[in-house]
Structure 1
Amino acid sequence: MKHRRSIELASPGRHAVEIEKETLATLPQWFVLHAHCRTCHHEASIDRWEIARRHGHDLSLANLAKRLKCQGCGNRSDNLLLLQKLPRD
């Protein structure tokens, strides 16, 4: 769908990711994972291929989010798992 100013708008569900059902194996390759600590605001990228090698490709994103530990302050609770979609040609 196009906005009147030629801005591409995502239609509902087009790029939606269900965190409970999505696994590292089913997540499209153009998504990059980041972790954000709500306590100290430290943010880091996550190597999804290394996580998949260690913990299995069937690890859901919801379970991955529960396992996050901040490298800055050591916080293990209330950390965010962020998904970034890389631009595609």
Structure 2
Amino acid sequence: MRHARGKDLSFRGDRYEEVPPDDWTTLSQLQQWYQLAARCGGCGRVSRVDRYALARAHGAALPLCAIGARLTCQNCRNKTGNMLLLGTMPRD
């Protein structure tokens, strides 16, 4: 997907880093330019996570380190070993 000004908004899994297990930053404290993704512990699938839908469902005070345990893979339905990934949007 491309932005009207030519910015590349497509999803690239290589820009993401794993959230440390001791990171108690909450969804409400996370800056807008950060994107969330999830990696399945079973099949290895990486997909984008809608942070605003997550905040509506579980509350904006949910720490990032607690999100991985709540994720379910849409591909293989795995619920164990899933990891939350944090990345930034590309900037000019």
Q: TM-score, normalised by structure 2?
A: 0.71
Q: Distance in 2 between matches of 1:66 and 1:38?
A: 11
1:20 partner letter: D
Q: Distance in 2 between matches of 1:87 and 1:44?
A: 17
In the alignment, which residue of structure 2 is the partner of 1:62?
65
The alignment partner of 2:67 has SS state of helix
Larger radius of gyration: 1
Count of residues in Structure 1 that have an aligned counterpart in Structure 2: 73
Structure 1: which 5+ residue stretches go unaligned?
A: 1-16
- What is the CA distance between 1:21 and its match in structure 2? 1.4
In the alignment, which residue of structure 2 is the partner of 1:42?
45
1:35 partner letter: A
Over the residues paired in the alignment, what is the CA RMSD in angstroms? 1.7
Q: Distance in 1 between matches of 2:87 and 2:23?
A: 17
Q: Distance in 2 between matches of 1:31 and 1:73?
A: 26
1:17-56, CA deviations, whole angstroms, 9 ceiling, x for partnerless residues? 7653100000111110001112111111000001101111
The alignment partner of 2:27 has SS state of coil
Q: Distance in 2 between matches of 1:53 and 1:38?
A: 25
Q: Distance in 1 between matches of 2:31 and 2:91?
A: 12
Percent identity of the aligned residues? 42
Q: TM-score, normalised by structure 1?
A: 0.73
Structure 2: which 5+ residue stretches go unaligned?
A: 1-18
Q: Distance in 1 between matches of 2:39 and 2:85?
A: 7
